[in-house]
Amino acid sequence: MYSQILCGLYQNEQVLRVGAVFASGFIRAVKFLEKHWVRLCHDIRKGTIDGEITDPNVREAVMKILKPNPKLAAFVESECNKESWKGIITRLWPNTKYVDVIVTGTMSQYIPILDYYSNGLPLVCTMYASSECYFGLNLNPLCDPSEVSYTLIPTMAYFEFLPLNKIDGNADSISATEQEHLVDLVDVELGQEYELVVTTYAGLYRYRVGDILRVAGFKNKAPQFNFICRKNVVLSIDSDKTDEVELQNAVKNGSNHLSNYNASLIDYTSSADTSTIPGHYILYWEITKNNQNPIPDSVYEECCFTVEDSLNSVYRQGRITESIGPLEIKVVENGTFDKVMDFALSQGASINQYKTPRCVKYGPILELLNSKTVSSFFSPKCPQWVPGHKKWCTLD
Ligand code: AMP
């Protein structure tokens, strides 16, 4: 990361595009720059590479590019030293045309911060892919992130689709009844949601990728899909089931209260705590503040309440009937989500493909999050729930 940013800064006029696979990785790079710009400027000024970079091949490659450039070092220093980092991307890399990052699915939560750092450069999601195989491309790369759809490329793998209402459970393999309901790529229907199932050249047979897609339209006869969410992120205490999309929306609504205090949410995850009776949802929030003014406890409580009020009616009913306890927000120290990522990397995750888990069950990560918690707040009252209200209403 250090060497790449050093070379990128050194060749700042030549950079036309910045990015990473996922938005979270890109934000991490900006944060890295925020932490290390003094050392980077020193290296640019002297034409050296920091002693902490020890890999001889990397050192050699960087030293082939780097020559002392005090003028550039002074420029980078003056930009990074400014109080506000608004537009830092376009200031440091003035010829950048767009930010190449995936911001679909839960990555969409990073759009405001990306807009802030890039002064509203286009955010381009080019592809939908995985370690197992490539899936598809965005044929309209300059469209708004909310409009992105991916056209699956039929020669990448054999694609099949399991209609959402035919999913039996969370098993890794497809059950016999599910097999009967699989639909081919040519047979998907506009507006329908499906779980993606692939058979790959490398030998995976009817493999469940774990993603839910919605048919958004067609390019000629090729279906195009919106990425909706990962299938298996579910918070549940009682009969409630909260999926990733719902959680994301609720967190977005709740965190809006922070903006009055010049603060915003950097990252979040959740867990279902059943060690208390009744169990309750816990959200871990890492927050960035643009001034020193403390955020009153009542604001965090308001955030808890708004999140609860935005969740589904089964959850809200559970709160009224006390089968679910008040939602808790645990505010964690700055840098905690970097530590969560470091932990995942130490266990073998790839830095390029890392995505913050939106729900955590794994003990060591929960311990890490709890050890970094600086304060915690509970929802002060029950959310609204109208008895008899059903999600799907008929005209009566
Ligand atoms: P991995 O399992 O690390 O190879 O990552 C593949 C997963 O990343 C996919 O199954 C999706 O859940 C997610 N992913 C990949 N591309 C996109 C995209 N364009 N939009 C949203 N999520 C994506």
pLDDT in tens, 208-219: 988 999 999 999
Whether 325 maps to a domain, the answer reads: yes
Same domain, 211 and 241: no
Angle, helices 336-346/23-46, rounded to nearest 10 degrees: 100
In a domain, 47, yes or no: yes
pLDDT at 244: 84
**pLDDT higher for 396 or 23?**
23
Is 155 in the same domain as 67? no
Cα-to-centroid distance, 130 and ligand 1 (Å)? 5
Is residue 329 classed as helix, strand or coil in its secondary structure? Answer: strand
The more confidently predicted of residues 353 and 76 is 76
Please work out whether the CB of residue 129 comes within 6 Å of at least one atom of ligand 1.
Answer: yes
Residue 200, amino acid: T
Same domain, 242 and 367: yes
Look up residue 223 and give its two tokens: 């279906």
The pLDDT value recorded for residue 393 is 33
CA nearest ligand 1 atom 2, residue: 130
| pLDDT at position 288 over 50 | yes
Asked if pLDDT for residue 110 goes beyond 90, the answer is no
Is 353 near ligand 1, meaning CB less than 6 Å away? yes
What's residue 100's pLDDT? Answer: 96
Both 332 and 383 in one domain: the answer is yes
Tell me what the mean pLDDT of segment 173-181 comes to: 89
Q: Do 159 and 283 reside in the same domain of the chain? A: no
| Total of domains in the chain | 3
- Per residue in 35-89, pLDDT tens? 999 999 999 999 999 999 999 999 999 999 999 999 999 999 999 999 999 999 9
Q: Are residues 263 and 325 in the same domain?
A: yes
Rounded mean pLDDT of 158-164? Answer: 96
Does some domain include residue 107?
no
* Separation of CA 330 and ligand 1 centre (Å): 28
Q: Do residues 285 and 340 share a domain?
A: yes
| Centroid of ligand 1 to alpha carbon of 128 (angstroms) | 6
Cis peptide before 94 (omega within 30 of 0): no
111 within a domain of the structure (yes/no):
no
Domain-located, residue 119: no
For residues 205 and 274, membership in a common domain is answered with no
Residue 276 lies in a domain: yes
pLDDT at 394 over 60: no
Same-domain status, 374 and 264: yes
CB within 8 Å of 174: residues ≥ 6 apart: 162, 182, 197, 206, 208
Q: Does 271 share its domain with 330?
A: yes
Structural domain range at position 190: 127-230
| Å from CA of 242 to ligand 1 middle | 20
Average pLDDT score over residue span 369-375: 97
| Last residue in a domain, options 199, 230, 261 | 230
Rounded distance between C-alpha atoms, residue 46 and residue 118, angstroms: 28
Closest ligand 1 atom to residue 196 Cα is: 10
Q: Are residues 224 and 258 in the same domain?
A: no
Within-domain flag for 122: no
